Structure 1
Amino acid sequence: MIKWVWKNYRFAIILVIVSVLSGLFIIGQMTKEPNYQKIVVHEGDSLWSIAMKYGDHHNMDYNEFVKWVEQKNHLASPVIKPGDKIIIPVTAVNKKHQVAYKEE
């Protein structure tokens, strides 16, 4: 019986298996959160100044940026201190493929 099913429907069986695996892969990729950049807060930094500094690297207005950072980093207020490490909504750069980078 199994040989008969395989002989007559092997193309359909393979197609179903490939479709299910492809669907699982796509769902896994869609639910994967981007690798966001983690930065260290310096003297004089605020969430607003950081939002302005990285303005070209995110598609949010400054208020959305600040709210996102507060939520993602579980901050009770927008006040940050030098030495704090925070995640910002800017995709992290893979340093292995980076030619040169100078942070100002």
Structure 2
Amino acid sequence: MNYMMKFIKENYYFALLLLVCLSFAWYQFDKLAEEDQYLEIVINEGDTLWELASNYSEGMPRHHWIDQVISLNELSTDQINSGELLRLPIKIKKGSDSRVAELGVEGR
């Protein structure tokens, strides 16, 4: 035990560096857990990207969200048609189940 305390006192910088590395790793892991995921939906009659943005953009400015959808789905315009399959960027927080988001879409 005495040897361990002496080692720690003499090498405190190592413990500090280890703590910084672990903190950084935890931050990155937490950040990855909340990154964008994608949800595929079938467009219903009357759906618009603006309406979908109000339901799925989760704090992101709507025009940025719409630009992401257009890019993600390789659309040439912002027009969508009934029956099309569309990938939407959504945020899924860590610990939540992605099936919850899918159920929310079907219940509209």
- The verdict on a shared fold, with TM-score over 0.5 as the criterion, is yes
Band the TM-score falls in, shorter-chain normalisation: 0.5 to 0.7
Aligned to 1:103: 107
Shift of the alpha carbon at 1:38?
0.7
Q: Tell me the SS of whatever aligns to 1:13.
A: helix
Shift of the alpha carbon at 1:96?
6.8
2:97 maps to 1:94: yes
Give the count of matched residue pairs: 95
Shift of the alpha carbon at 1:42?
2.6
Contact 1:41-1:80 within 8 A present in 2 as well: no
TM-score by length of 2: 0.56
Query: Counterpart of 1:50 in structure 2: which amino acid?
Result: L
Shift of the alpha carbon at 1:80?
2.6
Query: Counterpart of 1:17 in structure 2: which amino acid?
Result: L
Aligned to 1:46: 48
1:37-93 residue CA offsets vs partner (Å, 9 max, x unmatched): 5131233223123224x17x62245434322321333332223341313113x3246
Query: Counterpart of 2:22 in structure 1: which amino acid?
Result: L
Instruction: State how 1:23-62 maps to structure 2 within 5 Å.
Output: 23-30=24-31, 32=32, 34-44=35-45, 45-52=47-54, 54=55, 58-62=58-62
Aligned to 2:86: 85
TM-score by length of 1: 0.57
4+ residue runs of structure 1 moved beyond 4 angstroms?
95-98
Gap change, CA 1:18 and 1:86, over 3 Å in 2:
same
RMSD of aligned Cα (Å): 3.6
Q: Tell me the SS of whatever aligns to 1:79.
A: coil
